[in-house]
Amino acid sequence: MIKYILPVLSALTILTSCTERDAKKELKSKIGQMLIVGFQGTSLDEKISKEIKNNNIGGIILFERSLSNPQAPRNIVNKEQLLNLTAQLKALNEIPMLISIDQEGGTVARLAPDRGFYNPPSAMYIGNLSCIDSSRYYAGRNAMQLEELGINMNFTPCVDMIVNPDNPIIALRERAFSNNPDIIVKEAEVVVQEHRKHGIITSLKHFPGHGSSKTDSHLGLTDVTNTYIEEELIPYKRLIKDNYADIVMVSHLFNSNIDPDFPASLSEKTIKDLLRNQLGFEGVVATDDMHMGAITDEYSYPVALELAINAGVDMIIIGNNAKIYEEDLISETVKIIYDLVTLNRISHERIDEAYARIMKLKEKL
């Protein structure tokens, strides 16, 4: 009898091993879809291609210049080069990839005129102009250019409200349309409409509102507890209600009136309670870049990832564009999140929830 039992046990062992291996691969694949990553290079070399493909990365974010090597282009040289790069990226994964960029216009533009690209006027200029036909022209031309270049996602519009006119990262850089929520909503609707005509996904930012800050969250902790006003939520309420929100980007701002413990991007009270439950947003929530000083100065990388995902974030932006470029950051990030799941620090259900939202978003591509 033993001679019959042993082959059966062996087969069961192999089957169990295969099942575990498939489950591990599936989990890592879902985690990969949760990442929007940056890389260094104007074309794909073998290493970065393997990193993106093997980890089933959900999105890429493109930059014009590299902070670790300011003299060299980061990802963008000219139209022909960029079109070749986006074609290479699209060929890597079976699941469509979000190829994203920050092309707001004005001072925040990765596609610079001196490289042969079109850069629309700043949001403040457009808001002050108060001409919807002009707004539609600028947004449409911007979106058409992205489509032609193979880019399918733009981190715009910025729906921050100019509460503090001396705000160094919003008002002084003319990134917000107005101090009037009605104007912000009207202009943001046009931006989203024109991008959708060209198949470009957009993102409202920087939730719950960066317009009242006195400092720049790129550089360190930014506390708006004493400056934030409730009206900063109005654009989000109206745009979410009227289906103008593909993605909502959550900022790294700290507001103790909303959450006394964590900045918005790591805060369950901000994401689940305020954004999801109160405002009714059911789409993809993305962080601002996790390499910004407001996060890196206060939290270790694994802790920040754990807090963000458990707070309700679906996609994590990792620009990898600090003064030191980390070549293995993609694989390291996937491994950190995978280990957090296996240790039950992040639930499988939370990963599945994020993955389902991402797949639904990608149906729009």
Residue 1 pLDDT = 41
Residue 358 pLDDT = 98
Question: Is pLDDT of 235 > 70?
Answer: yes
pTM for this one?
0.93
Residue 14 pLDDT = 58
Over range 257-266, report the average pLDDT: 98
Tell me how far CA of residue 250 lies from CA of 23, 236, 308, in angstroms. Answer: 31, 12, 10
Over range 167-176, report the average pLDDT: 96
CB 37 within 8 A of CB 329: yes
Listed by start position, the domains of the chain span 2-362
Over range 353-360, report the average pLDDT: 98
The chain-wide mean pLDDT, for the chain, equals 94
pLDDT in tens, 28-51: 999 999 999 999 999 999 999 999
Over range 209-218, report the average pLDDT: 91
Could you tell me the pLDDT band of residue 219, with boundaries at 50, 70 and 90? confident
Could you tell me the pLDDT band of residue 13, with boundaries at 50, 70 and 90? low
* CATH number for the segment(s) 2-362: 3.20.20.300
Over range 290-318, report the average pLDDT: 96
Who wins on pLDDT, 322 or 6?
322
Over range 118-141, report the average pLDDT: 97
CA neighbor of 123 nearest in space, from 141, 138, 113:
138
Residue 8 pLDDT = 52
Enumerate residues 6+ apart whose C-beta is below 8 A from 298: 221, 263
- In this structure, is the dihedral angle defined by the CA atoms of residues 70, 204, 298 and 99, taken in order, positive or negative? negative
Over range 279-288, report the average pLDDT: 98
Residue 72 pLDDT = 81
